Every structure is written in C-alpha cells, then in structure tokens.
A = this chain, B = another copy of it.
Amino acid sequence: MLTRRGVVGGALAGSLLGSPLAAALQTDRRRPGFDIASPGDAITPIFVDAADLPGVRRAAADLAADIGRVTGTDARIVHDPRALPDRVILVGALGTSPLIDHLVAAGKVAVHDIRGKWEAFLIQTVANPMPGVKEALVIVGSDKRGTIYGVYDVSRMIGVSPWYWWADVPVVRQSRLRIANGRYVQDSPAVKYRGIFLNDEAPCLSGWTAKTFGGMNAAFYGRLFELLLRLRANYLWPAMWNNAFAVDDPANAPLAEDYGIVMGTSHHEPMMKAHKEWTDHRQHYGNGEWNYATNAPAIRDFFREGIDRNAHNEVIVTVGMRGDGDVALESSGSLQSDVTLLEGVITDQRRIIAEGMGRPAEQVPQVWVLFTEVYKYYDAGLELPDDVTIMFADDNVGNLRRLPLPSERGRSGGFGIYFHMDMHGGPFSYQWINSNPLPKIWEQMNLAHRYGANEIWIANVGDLKPLELPIEFFLAMAWRPSDVGKDKIAGWTHAWAERQFGPEHAAEIAMLAARYAKYNAWRKPEQLKPDSYSLENYREAERVCDAWRELERRADAVNETLRSDQRDAFYQLVLYPVRACSNLTQMYVAAARNARFAEQGRASTSAEADEVRRRFHRDHDLRDYYNHTMAGGKWDHMMDQTHIGYFDWYPPGTDIMPPVAEIDLDPANGFGVAVDGSARSWPGYYLPPELPILDSLTREKTFIEVFPRGAGPAPVTVTADQPWVVIEEGKAFGVSTRDRRFWVDIDWNAVKTGRSEATITVEGHQTVTVRLTALRASAQQEREARGASGGLTGAFSLAAARFDRSVAARGVRCEPIPDYGQGDAAMSVFPVDAEPFTDTANAPRLEYDVFLGESGPYHIDLVTAPTLEVYPGRHLAVAVGFDDAAPVAQAVFTPTTRAAQDFLGEQHAANTAANARTMRFTLPVDAPGRHVLKVFMQDPTIVVQKIIVHKSALARSYFGPPAWASGGRAGS
C-alpha cells in the first residue's frame, strides 16, 4: 500500500470545504502544530468523559479508530481526567463534559461564539490546558451534535472519507498528523434539520440489508447513522417499504437517540408510526379503516403508541394525514370538509403529542408535508399551528413547487423542503442510478435557502447508493451554502473527488462524476427510448454516443492508473455509472439504428440487432460485477434495480431488451443511399434525395451513407458534378464496416456567391443521384455576419450563456449557472429573490448578435429549465425582441400552461423527462442581415438554457440544431 508522506495538508488542500479546519491545512512540518501522530511517537490519546453523551463518546471512539485507519495504530481512549497524558485530544460537549466545562471556566478555551448555538463547535490547540498536560487539541461542541461534527471534522481532515465504509474509499496511510496551532470555529449550519429519506428501497437496499445484516436492524442503522453524522446530517426518514423502523428491531430507535440522529417518519406516516404498523395490525384498530371520519378513536390509539414510545427521543413528528398508504386522502365530501377534518386531526395529534411527550406541543418539533394533493388543503386555507414546520415537497423530479412568501415567513415553525433524487412513481420512476447533476440541485435548493425554507431539508435518496455524490452535495449545501455557490460547484466536486481518490486524478474524476450525471439528466436512463435522440438530424444520436464513448474512455483511463485499492470505490462512484449509462445509451441508439436500417434495407440491420443484444448482456455483466465481484461482493443486491424497458411508471419486473427487427435480404440487392437529414433511403423513395443546404457562414459539412442491401459486396463510386464539391470518405455510424460514409463539404473559395447546385452521383450496379445546394455569402453578408451567430438559411441554436452583452438593471443581472442543463451553462437572474421587473424593457437582459438570412417572421424558442412557479401570485415572464423593437413578453405560466404543467400532468412529465421547457415567440424581421436578439429576464427563478432561432418547422431532434457561430464549425 502506498502511503503519503508528510503532514496533513497540501495534498488535501481544497478538499475540506465546509470545515473550519480548512484553515488548518497550511501547515508544513516546520510550522508548530499539534501532532495527532508523529513518526516515532505514540499516537496521541483521546479523552472523553465517561459520562458524556453516548453520541459524543461513540464519535470519539470513531476518531480513535480513524486515526488507526490512517496511522496503523488506533488512538487510545482515556476516560480518567486525572490520568491524562502530556499531549491529548480533549473531546466534550458544553454542559455535559465536566473537564471541558472546567477548561472553559478556567479561561483556557473561549466558547462565547458557540455557546447556546445549534450544532456549533470549536477546535482549538491549547498549550498547558491543565497541570501535567503540555498540549491539547480541544474539540468542544455547543451541543451533542456540534461536538460530534467537530470530532468527524478531524477524521475528515486526517483523510478518512465519510464514505470509507459506504463506498470503500481507501484511507491513505500517514505517519504524521499535525494540526496547525489555532482556534477553529464552526458556526451553526444554515439549515437546522438536514437529512435523507430511504425510500423505494426494494429490491436493492432491502436485498442488500437482508443479506448483509439480516434485515434493517440496528447493525444496519448504526452504519447509516455514522455515515449521516460524518456527512453532517442529523435527520432521517427510515425505510418504510414493508419496513417499520421502530418495531423491526426494537434497538433501532434507541440507537438513533444514542447516535444523535433525529428520527422522523415519512411525509405520509404521521405520529412516528410506520404505515406498515397499520397494515400489519389494522384489524386491532376499531373498524380497521384508515379513515378519520369513521375510525378516529382507534387511529388516535395508533398515534398515541408512536408518541409514547418516543417520549424520550429527539424526533420531528410528522402531522396531518394522507390516505391508506402513500396515496391521497379519501375525500370526506368536499374540499372544505376535508380541510376541517384535517384541522381536527392535527389538533388531536398535538394533544396526543403534548400528553405523550409531557410538554407543550409547541416544544416538540413537528412537520406537515405538502406532498402531491396535500397542497390543495393548504391553499384552501387550512389553519396550522404556527410552530409546525411546513414542508414543501418538490414535483418528484427535483423542481420545487412552492416557496415561502414574505408574508408567511414569520411563522415560528418555519419551512422545509422535501426533495427527490430518486422516485418510484409519477411522473416517472428513476431508481437505478444517479441522474441528479449538482448544478440543478443547487439551482433549486438555492432558491429554497434564499427564500427562507431553512428549517428542514430532506432528500429522497432511494437505496442511498449510488447517490453518494448528490447526497453529500445536498447536505453540504444545507450545512454551509456559501461553500457551494453556483461558481463553486466544480470546485466542490473537485474537492469531493480529491477526498475520495487523492489529488492526482481529482480533476478528471470530478469531471467524470459531474458529466455522467449531466448526461443522465438530458434524459434519465429509465426514460430513454431508441428514438430519444435523432438519428437523421444533426447527427444527434451519433454525437450523444460519441460523448458517452469519450467519457467511458476517460473513465477507463483513470481506472488503469488508479491504485488497486482505489478501484472498488472508483467502480461504484464513477466507473460503473459511466460505463453502464454509456452502454445503455449506445444500446438504445443501436436499437434505433436497427429499426432505421431495417427501413432502409441495410444489410447491417442484423449486426445492429446483435449489437443491441451484446450491450444488453454487457449491462448485466456490469451490474453483476458491482453486485458480486466489487469489494468482494459486499454490495450484493445493491444494483438489482431493473432499468431497461420501462412500459409503465412502475419498474419492469425484468430488464427487457429493446425489441429488434429483422429483414430478409435478397442477395441480388445492390446498395442503398441515405442522406444527412432524412430517414429515407434510395432507391426506394418517391422524393429525390437532397442534402441539407450548406452555408458559407455556418460552414457545416454534410454526408451521405452508402450501404449494401444484399449479402454480397456493392462497390460504388461517389462523384460530384461540380469541382467545388469536396467528398471525403469517413466512418459510417453503426457497427458495420461495410456501410460507408462520404462527407460532403464545399470548397468555398471555388464556388460563386449566391446559390449553386450540384449533383452527387453514387454509381454501382444502379445509380443514385443526390442533390446538393451551396449558399455562399456575399462579401457584404460576410462582413455583416462576422462574430454573429446564424447563417444564410436554416435553424440555429444560441447557447444562452454565450451572450454578447449582459445588461444589468437596478442591481439585478443575468448570470450563468455553470454546467447547468444541455450546454456549458444556463442563464438565470440574480439575486434570485430580486423583485420582478414589471417594466419589460427595463428588465435585465441578454443580447445576442445574430445574422438572419431572410426577412419575415422568425420563431424564437427559449429552452428553459422545467422549473415551476414557486411564488404564488407572482407573474413569471420573459420577453424577447429584435433590435430596438418593443420586446414581446410571455408569461411562463398562463392559466392553461399552469394546468398543463401541473403535478403529473402530461406536459409536465414531458418537460421534466427532457429537463427542459420550451417557450416559443414569433417575431417579425423586416430585413435580412445582422440583428440583435434581446432576451429580457423580467422575473427571477427562470433558467434559460438555449435559444433556437428558426423560420420553418424544426426538424425532429432532442436538442434542436447545434449551436454554430459564423465562420466556425459547430462543436460536437
């Protein structure tokens, strides 16, 4: 095993974002500091009071073990304050550790800036803290979890990843561990309760826990609690699919209390009772109906049990009621009667809470979750006690549905967010792999933070794995949002990669981890179909495959250079998702080629069918490696989730290979020709083949493909009738080596200004002629177009972030969110809580220099994020205009589109599947030539990804035309 020489720091620089110890990392070995370990010396022991809180004692023990993981020797734990060594780590919480309290009282440690705070801590080196002790590293927390977080911050600093066990991240051996002398303070986290929800936990988490722990018992939850604390979380909704946390293992709830984890139950399980407890025993409760209108006394008994058994635990009690299981409440007659019923339910629940907990209800944290249909009760005016936290659920796909209005923000219970990184249900399920790019999480959760929903953040994380990265990011944001501003996401990801794999490959690994999730968010793997990406237009499917292939190549290259002890972690965190998603995308595209090639009569149809089969089986091989080989089979079942062949929101029982077609080949058949921009082939179609028009401003090239249609060879020659046509053979898209591509380009110096026509002739045992048109700009057009986007003809895209000018207004400006969405970045309005601009023309705007080949009406499609209207009553608009013409404003949501965007609505499902919503404007253009396209961002919370400019109907594609600028080729 390699060990890293030297002191802590340097190598880990930048990897401790969110930790006050980041400041301790400038240390070099000549600078004085506190040695936790030092070559030749005994490992510094840890003192923790034997009477301190169990969670604190346990964390101290973890630190001792972590030091052992790094140095090879565990630190000794000392409980006797009278037998302290001369160098010691002192761990304790204010008020529960007499020694710490004594140090504070003695003025050795100043705690004014953490005392009384929620989960704050202080780490300080202290010389001569007490007689007989020369130096101490004091880790003191304002409370239990503050102390624990402090302890784990030291673990993290010495190189123990929170994921050391949960993702097999190897610990790098070091013999010297030194902290620069100093005082390191961590204030309270931004969000009070930060947690995850284990959900949709079969077949993966269930299968894995059954095999590994014998169930979701304390052995499992202990591992989980430790992870949560190392990730600075404090809150958990436990697994509830046929699981009941409190009764499956009676040790579970006390264990949570010991660790310091605040337990809750999910959005639809009130009063600390799992729904399974109801379904298993409903016959013992009155008439057995989960209906407060008909069975209230029995349901109250049920509620009471949940509260009574948690009387001494730190919990957040879910209040309210949904239907029987995770479904909507059965109506009692009218919306108003339902509201009245629910108000009664909550009143009763609070009485039970107060009785069971032995203190006023307002002293017990409670949450009411507005999920799906529950919004309507709130909107209808349900009166909720001020101390109950109102939790807004997203749309199941990571788009917030609501934020607190200023008028609401005063409530003592505050607001929370229930966010999804995994879904089993509508609008579609995504349970397999990580498809949550961090910029999207940031964009929405930043709104939550800025609009004051900071009481609770909880993320539905499915089986937990393989969502390691977005889980940590979500919790990091909740901890200290300033560490992960939109421009720091890449840096944070880099630091994350460095924590797991060291600095050498951190940049590449961060790129890989960010990019596979980004690609997955173009279209979630479960939502992929053979025709998701266009085969015929813009080489779209080909470009997408190229992107994945390149990502896979780079991931493989990293894997080759990693130490062998890093490969299990790399496989689960990066390599598996990259390979599997690349393979999956290429499998679907091969299925598309199979279908298209069958239509075109290509002999290679069957080769594409074989390719689909090969990739289908490779998917299983990759999964099997994860389950059975990686880490010695430690994670068996964790990748059991089916993900191919969705035909319902419900996951298929078994993966279903995309169906493949066969054709009969007549050996006498000759060849066929397909052309860029068309799905058809020739001979065999009544319209003549015609290539997309080539344009001297956009300088795109085009191609034809020639392929055998029979079993035999089909030699052809490809020639053009004009000298300015440049034909060059390339590689056809697909697995066949017999299919041929011929690139068609123009020698623009050789062609006259204006329109020129040419014919390309494919000659073999038959002849196919393909028409080609070239448009060469005049000298004046070229001058006008210089530096502008667009061309003489055709549709083009503008990457929203590639603006030419950004004009701020009243301190409000359009800024890019790097790496958001389809392109390099997307544009939104900052600050996000700015007041809207009702005066359109004065709104902050983006300007794009464009060259338009024609006059007449143009369509401007703004491709925005599919975010929702989070601010009731606010008009949400954007406007577009050319030059100095009055801009045309359009509200994202009209009463009609609002309905269409509604939760689970078909249009919203389509938008979220594409992670994009398109707004179309149609504007007159009175003359061809150079223009300025202006986008006026009237309201914050809109995110613009790209702008598509076109005159006629767009060719079918997923992304629209590529972005190209005058004089240059489009990137892939």
Contact = CB atoms under 8 A, between A and B. Distances in A.
B653 A662 contact: no
A645 B613 contact: no
B601 A662 contact: no
B599 A645 contact: yes
Name, among A647, A665, A709, the residue most crowded by chain B CB atoms within 10 Å (CB to CB).
A647
A663 interface: yes
A586 interface: no
A824 B599 CA distance: 38
B658 A645 contact: no
Interface string A585-617: 000000000110011110000000000010011
Nearest to A685: B650
A661 B659 contact: yes
Interface string A558-601: 00000000000000000000000000000000000011001111
A661 B684 contact: no
A241 to B, nearest CB: 10
A590 to B, nearest CB: 12
Interface string A769-799: 0000000000000000000000000000000
A173 interface: no
Question: Which range contains the number of A residues in contact with the other chain?
Answer: 35 or more
A293 interface: no
Given A620-B664, A664-B620, A600 B659 contact: no
Contacts of A655: 663-664
A656 B661 contact: yes
B664 A594 contact: no
A660 B663 contact: no
A871 B327 CA distance: 54
> Within the oligomer, what is the number of copies of this chain?
2
A652 interface: yes
Given A645-B599, A681-B653, A686-B650, A661 B658 contact: yes
Q: Tell me if A's interface is mostly helix, strand, loop or mixed.
A: loop
A666 B647 CA distance: 20
A617 B665 CA distance: 12
Given A650-B685, A650-B686, A685-B650, A598 B656 contact: yes
A595 B663 contact: no
A654 interface: yes
A881 to B, nearest CB: 33
Nearest to A656: B598
A657 interface: yes
Interface string A404-424: 000000000000000000000
A600 B656 CA distance: 10
A645 B617 CA distance: 27
Contacts of A616: 662, 664
A655 B663 CA distance: 6
A186 to B, nearest CB: 44
A726 B650 CA distance: 32
A517 B282 CA distance: 59
A129 to B, nearest CB: 60
Nearest to A651: B684
Nearest to A596: B647
Name, among A600, A613, A660, the residue most crowded by chain B CB atoms within 10 Å (CB to CB).
A660
The 5 closest A-B pairs by CB, nearest first: A659-B659, A653-B684, A659-B661, A657-B662, A601-B653
Given A599-B645, A654-B666, 4 more contacts: A599-B653, A613-B662, A653-B672, A657-B663
15 contacts: A594-B659, A598-B645, A599-B645, A616-B664, A617-B664, A620-B664, A645-B661, A654-B665, A654-B666, A654-B709, A655-B663, A655-B664, A656-B662, A657-B661, A657-B662
